[in-house]
Chain A
Amino acid sequence: MLRRTFLGLLGAGGISAVLGKAAHAAGNKHFEGYPGSFGVLFDATRCIGCRRCEAGCNKVNNLPPPPEPFDDLSVLNTKRRTHAWTYTVVNRYDNIPGAKGPVFRKNQCQHCLEPACASACFVKAFTKTPQGGVIWDGSVCVGCRYCMIACPFDIPTFEYDQVLAPRIMKCTLCNPQITSGQLTVPGCVGACPVEALVYGKRSDLINIARSRISAFPNLYLNHIYGEHEMGGTNWLYVSGVPFRNIGMREDLGVTPAPELTSGALAAVPLVAGLWPVLLLGIYAVNKRKDQVADQEKQEAVARAIARAQAEAKDTLDKALAKADENTKKAIEREVKKALEEAAKAPAEEEGE
């Protein structure tokens, strides 16, 4: 949709037809995730807010010990988000209409099928692994924090207090530990005492979620959060209360993040290709216009000079003719005068 509106602006159906292929992320191809990738299903009707998942995560990821111990449930009185020292947090939501008591929700990286962070990273520091987890590579990260701007779930965090090597910190779905065989399920899932968390293949988790919803339609809302949100995520949620009441955005839409920028990026080669042509064209037209103007000026000048010369010649000729005439008249006058004088002279002589 967005890409289409952007391209619509470019003003030509032909252009979008050409670009349709280049920006295939937005075309009719739809990436449905790596087949067989793993994820976690969180069931908000089961979570009791014990924070053992937080403790399990802290342990397997060697994160620093928190100021308050994990069995101190008073921290649930304030809403928390992920930080560099905690990959996952559980929040408590009270006074939800229709709910009998508080509802808890665990938050961590959703492991998008097409992650915003990976799409936004200008050094490709993020990898969507075929196993499902989105992992970050510290050897290339510049620390620009655009991934944090891009993430619709506000998940990546930054070590602001580190001077030399601040890292982006986020849940990895325990990808390193599981691929190396240290763990079989993520730390949080292993620590959950009430099976509010299930680790498994994403396709299986969707089936489990559907069967729970259909088995207990009064207990669950008929929606699996993460099945389609932002193009789908490997982390899935089912809940008995609206997701907005447990701190989850319901306005994210189903467009994968990379599609949001693919239209603008597709315009880049277009600008690179067309702008020089247009600008050189404008330059050439201006230059030609100047040349023509110059030429016309010269011609006009030449014409003006010719006309002036012709006029001058005309005036000169007239003047010469007039002068000739005057001279003739003067000569005639002189001759006449001389003759008269000559005629006068003998008479005077005779008179003497």
Chain B
Amino acid sequence: MSAEVTTGKKTLITPFNVVVGIILFLGLIVTYLRFTKGLAGVTNLSDNNPWGLWISFDLLCGVALAAGGYTTSAACYVFGLKRYHTAVRPAILTAFLGYSLVVLALHYDVGRPWRLPYPFFVQSGPTSVLFEVGLCVFLYLITLFIEWVPAALEWLGIKKPRDVIIRMTLALTIFGVVLSTMHQSSLGALYLIAPSKLHPLWYSAYLPIFFFVSSIAAGLSMVIFEGTLSHHYLHDKMDATYRSEHDGVVLGFAKAAAVVLMGYFCIKIVGLALDNNWSYLFTGYGAWYLLEILGFVLLPAILYAIGVRERKLNLIKWTSVLTVLGIVLNRFNVSLVAFNWQLAPVDRYFPSWMEIALSLFIVTVGLLIFRFISTYMPIFYEEEKFREHASVELHEHPVKPHPQTFGH
């Protein structure tokens, strides 16, 4: 928990930099190949498997794991949990970067990326679930940008427009929650059209609800997980308020995540019962399904509950990792493992190393931008100049101790 020693590192050849360098290098190579040789040059996609890792991980997981933005801002500004205020900015930044990277990744995946705005400006297909996903992601990305801009404006010392945006906080938050509800659920609804391709254990009329509810758990867990990482690596960028509120955020979010995961587990069972899919549980896919909902939904729900009850912060932090992995597992199961389950093994899809490299590249780019922004802009702390204004409209703070006067 103590501050990382970041001073005195003069050499650029650190293990972190080497790994990042390799990933960036490979990513650039794959980028070059993708836009000179086409999708066939870099992916294992086929006519049977039109969607691969870039949709499963970069889109489905990316959007789910960026759900911290709307959950945190809703908790703070709508549900009135003002003690989570310091968690909002990191969560909004993560969400904004997450969605930006989702859109970046889509440029690699679709055949004609320059036409991505076509559904909104040239010809709309409103009968498509994908249209709804696209429209919501497009609007939400703009919303997140506006929500993030005050941090940049404070960094640049521009006051007027920043104050205008801060005054729109409630409207932006509600807009964000509405859009998130829609597209988080719609990502699940994408698969409603393919009941003949998705294994019955994962196909359900409730897919949109499953995706939405699990995105809340994903968002809460990502805030806990990221908070832990940030505490480790960006400790010196945090002000006293952030640090003093941090444990409260972890406990509060863990409590919420325990309840949400429990509810998610229940509706998964309801879905199973509704379609009378019990007999599938005794197959290989059934074992895999049980692993997912027992090991990565029920177990973290219980561990979160224990962590909150016993106030074991470390248990909560590890549980957040388990939950995040569980969400990733679920999205992979729906879009890859259980999708096209009836195809012959030889026709099934497995990503190429270049697809994996590009996904790593996208995540790495996100991490680097996050680190840059949170190093220079007021993300984990409040700008002295803007302090009293920041706490006027929607959230009133107790008097904050000055960073230097607060021992930690």
Provide the bound-state CA to CA distance between A222 and B41, in Å. 47
Q: Name which of A69-77, A95-103, A146-154, A341-349 contacts chain B.
A: A146-154
Q: Name which of B45-53, B88-96, B295-303, B318-326 contacts chain A.
A: B45-53
Q: Which residues of A contact B115 (CB under 8 A)?
A: 123, 140-143
Nearest CB in chain B: distance from A25 CB, A: 9
Known: A81-B48, A122-B119, A149-B50. A166 touches B78 (CB 8 A): no
Number of interface residues of B (CB under 8 A): 62
Q: Which residues of A contact B118 (CB under 8 A)?
A: 123, 140, 142
Asked whether B124 lies within 8 Å of A124 as measured between CB atoms, the reply is yes
B106-140 vs A: 1/0 string, CB under 8 Å?
00011111011011001111111111101000000
Provide the bound-state CA to CA distance between A251 and B38, in Å. 35
Picked from B35, B39, B47, B193, the residue with its CB within 8 Å of the CB of A120 is B193
Known: A83-B47, A149-B51, A265-B132. A166 touches B119 (CB 8 A): no
Nearest CB in chain B: distance from A137 CB, A: 9
Asked whether B124 lies within 8 Å of A275 as measured between CB atoms, the reply is no
Interface SS majority for chain B: helix
Picked from B41, B112, B126, B189, the residue with its CB within 8 Å of the CB of A141 is B112
Asked whether B206 lies within 8 Å of A275 as measured between CB atoms, the reply is no
Provide the bound-state CA to CA distance between A3 and B193, in Å. 12
Asked whether A283 lies within 8 Å of B110 as measured between CB atoms, the reply is no
Nearest CB in chain B: distance from A352 CB, A: 79
Which of A81, A120, A154, A264 has most B Cβ within 10 Å? A264
Provide the bound-state CA to CA distance between A257 and B190, in Å. 12
Picked from B36, B48, B126, the residue with its CB within 8 Å of the CB of A163 is B36
A277's nearest neighbour on chain B, judged by CB, is: B174
Provide the bound-state CA to CA distance between A164 and B39, in Å. 11
Considering only residues 251-285 of chain B, those with a C-beta below 8 Å from chain A are 274
Asked whether B80 lies within 8 Å of A280 as measured between CB atoms, the reply is no
Asked whether A154 lies within 8 Å of B130 as measured between CB atoms, the reply is no
Q: Which residues of A contact B190 (CB under 8 A)?
A: 146, 149
Asked whether B111 lies within 8 Å of A267 as measured between CB atoms, the reply is no
Asked whether B206 lies within 8 Å of A166 as measured between CB atoms, the reply is no
Indicate whether B391 reaches chain A with its CB closer than 8 angstroms. Answer: no
Asked whether A140 lies within 8 Å of B122 as measured between CB atoms, the reply is yes
Asked whether B125 lies within 8 Å of A124 as measured between CB atoms, the reply is yes
A261-279 vs B: 1/0 string, CB under 8 Å?
1011101100110011001
Provide the bound-state CA to CA distance between A322 and B99, in Å. 77
Known: A121-B125, A145-B50. A249 touches B193 (CB 8 A): no
Picked from B130, B189, B191, the residue with its CB within 8 Å of the CB of A144 is B130
Asked whether B35 lies within 8 Å of A5 as measured between CB atoms, the reply is no
Provide the bound-state CA to CA distance between A150 and B118, in Å. 20
Indicate whether A328 reaches chain B with its CB closer than 8 angstroms. Answer: no
Asked whether A123 lies within 8 Å of B186 as measured between CB atoms, the reply is no
Asked whether A282 lies within 8 Å of B79 as measured between CB atoms, the reply is yes
Asked whether A146 lies within 8 Å of B128 as measured between CB atoms, the reply is yes
Known: A124-B124, A142-B111, A264-B189. A272 touches B182 (CB 8 A): yes
Indicate whether B192 reaches chain A with its CB closer than 8 angstroms. Answer: yes
Considering only residues 153-201 of chain B, those with a C-beta below 8 Å from chain A are 170, 174, 177-178, 181-182, 185-186, 189-197
Indicate whether B219 reaches chain A with its CB closer than 8 angstroms. Answer: no
Q: Which residues of B contact A150 (CB under 8 A)?
A: 193-194
Known: A120-B130, A265-B127. A144 touches B208 (CB 8 A): no
Indicate whether A258 reaches chain B with its CB closer than 8 angstroms. Answer: yes
Picked from A9, A142, A257, A280, the residue with its CB within 8 Å of the CB of B119 is A142
Provide the bound-state CA to CA distance between A156 and B111, in Å. 14
A286's nearest neighbour on chain B, judged by CB, is: B80
Considering only residues 215-240 of chain A, those with a C-beta below 8 Å from chain B are none
Provide the bound-state CA to CA distance between A116 and B195, in Å. 12
Indicate whether B313 reaches chain A with its CB closer than 8 angstroms. Answer: no
Indicate whether A160 reaches chain B with its CB closer than 8 angstroms. Answer: yes
Q: Which residues of A contact B309 (CB under 8 A)?
A: none
Q: Which residues of A contact B134 (CB under 8 A)?
A: 122
Indicate whether B23 reaches chain A with its CB closer than 8 angstroms. Answer: no
Q: Which residues of A contact B130 (CB under 8 A)?
A: 120, 122, 144, 146
Asked whether A142 lies within 8 Å of B112 as measured between CB atoms, the reply is yes
Asked whether A160 lies within 8 Å of B39 as measured between CB atoms, the reply is yes
Indicate whether A82 reaches chain B with its CB closer than 8 angstroms. Answer: yes
Provide the bound-state CA to CA distance between A253 and B195, in Å. 10
Picked from A123, A145, A249, the residue with its CB within 8 Å of the CB of B122 is A123
Indicate whether A32 reaches chain B with its CB closer than 8 angstroms. Answer: no
Indicate whether A287 reaches chain B with its CB closer than 8 angstroms. Answer: yes
Q: Which residues of A contact B112 (CB under 8 A)?
A: 141-143, 164-166
Q: Which residues of B contact A148 (CB under 8 A)?
A: 47, 50
Known: A142-B115, A145-B51. A2 touches B182 (CB 8 A): no
Q: Which residues of B contact A161 (CB under 8 A)?
A: 37-41
Q: Which residues of A contact B119 (CB under 8 A)?
A: 122-123, 142
Provide the bound-state CA to CA distance between A116 and B192, in Å. 11
Known: A265-B129, A279-B78, A282-B79. A158 touches B193 (CB 8 A): no
Picked from A119, A164, A251, A267, the residue with its CB within 8 Å of the CB of B193 is A119
Q: Which residues of B contact A280 (CB under 8 A)?
A: 174
A126's nearest neighbour on chain B, judged by CB, is: B125
Known: A120-B130, A163-B36. A276 touches B193 (CB 8 A): no
Asked whether B80 lies within 8 Å of A279 as measured between CB atoms, the reply is no
Asked whether B38 lies within 8 Å of A162 as measured between CB atoms, the reply is yes
Indicate whether B77 reaches chain A with its CB closer than 8 angstroms. Answer: yes
Q: Which residues of B contact A301 (CB under 8 A)?
A: none
Q: Which residues of A contact B193 (CB under 8 A)?
A: 116, 119-120, 149-150, 257, 260-261
Q: Which residues of B contact A276 (CB under 8 A)?
A: 174, 178
Considering only residues 329-346 of chain B, those with a C-beta below 8 Å from chain A are none
Asked whether B209 lies within 8 Å of A9 as measured between CB atoms, the reply is yes
Nearest CB in chain A: distance from B196 CB, A: 5
Provide the bound-state CA to CA distance between A264 and B126, in Å. 12
Q: Which residues of B contact A125 (CB under 8 A)?
A: 123, 125
B6-50 vs A: 1/0 string, CB under 8 Å?
000000000000000000000000000001111111010111101
List 5 A-B residue pairs with CB atoms under 8 Å apart, sorted by A's residue number: A121-B125, A142-B115, A264-B186, A279-B177, A280-B174
Interface residues of A (CB under 8 A from B): 2-3, 5-6, 9, 81-84, 116, 118-125, 140-146, 148-150, 152, 154, 156-166, 249, 251-253, 257-258, 260-261, 263-265, 267-268, 271-272, 275-276, 279-280, 282-283, 286-287, 289-290
Known: A125-B125, A279-B174, A287-B80. 17 other contacts (CB 8 A): A2-B195, A9-B209, A81-B48, A122-B125, A125-B123, A145-B110, A148-B47, A158-B50, A160-B43, A161-B41, A166-B39, A249-B196, A264-B129, A264-B189, A265-B126, A275-B174, A282-B79
Q: Which 4 A-B pairs have the closest CB atoms?
A: A143-B111, A286-B80, A145-B50, A122-B131
Interface residues of B (CB under 8 A from A): 35-41, 43, 45-48, 50-51, 74, 77-80, 109-113, 115-116, 118-119, 122-132, 134, 170, 174, 177-178, 181-182, 185-186, 189-197, 205-206, 208-209, 274
